[in-house]
Amino acid sequence: MEFNDKTTVGEVVTKDNRAFNVFFSLEIDFCCDGEDNLFKALDSKDTTIEKFEELLGQVKHPVSNKENIMYDTYKKEELIKSIVEHQHKYAKMMMSKIDPLFLGLLVEEGKDCEILFDVYKLFGHMKSDLAQHLIKEETIDFLKIINAKDEAEVDDIVNILKDEHEDVGHMMEKMVELTDWFNPSNNSSEKTKEVFKLLNDLVVDTHFHIHLENNILFKEI
């Protein structure tokens, strides 16, 4: 795609799945801050547009939307159905899988690595907030969005959902900071490596999940 002075980071990820990898590496938030100007975001990381294009060219395996589906061509009903069947289902499955493994890790290794308690506390808050958020979207908010006749009918809903996305985003950011992007030390146990890998996968997919809603679905309505 061609970039201009009005291009946003959210638009870039929508059109090019390779940007997901690049923005992650540059620590540019494209989901909750998807409306940020691309050039200003890159400048804040001392990166030129030429360097950004070079980094895009180096991406061989996008970490999300590997099929490069053009979600911005979906009608809102189709996009909501896809989000529920894929992102919501995946988040519920991963949170249920991680929780008992992480609790077991605390019992076995928490005394030797107290930071695990801080990470679990953040994960617990994220799990609790996200669980109710997903249910509310599926049973109330998405139905109102589908049936809305104009933007004014769902303004309040969208603003609340964006605020909830931002809260989850802050929790993910803190977990990333505490674990250096879920990077276990060389002497970490296999269980720690497993839990960190699962947390990383959940965080990556949740970023893409929020991107689909904030930067595509909410813009459509």
The pLDDT > 90 percentage for the chain reads 77
| Highest mean pLDDT: which range of 29-43, 93-107, 207-221 | 93-107
Mean pLDDT of the chain: 93
Residue 169 has pLDDT above 90, yes or no: yes
Residue 221 has pLDDT above 80, yes or no: no
Distances from the Cα of 81 to the Cα of 3, 64, 78, 142, angstroms: 30, 18, 5, 9
Q: Give the DSSP H or E segment for 9.
A: helix 9-15
The pLDDT > 70 percentage for the chain reads 99
Distances from the Cα of 113 to the Cα of 12, 41, 106, 183, angstroms: 39, 35, 9, 14
pTM, entire model: 0.90
Rounded Cα distance, 142 and 146, in Å = 6
Residue 87 has pLDDT above 90, yes or no: yes
Residue 16 has pLDDT above 70, yes or no: yes
pLDDT at 65: 66
Determine whether 32 is exposed, middle or buried from the number of CB atoms within 10 Å of its CB (0-12, 13-18, 19+): buried
Rounded Cα distance, 182 and 193, in Å = 8
- 3-class DSSP assignment, residue 4: coil
The domain ranges of the chain are 9-58, 74-220
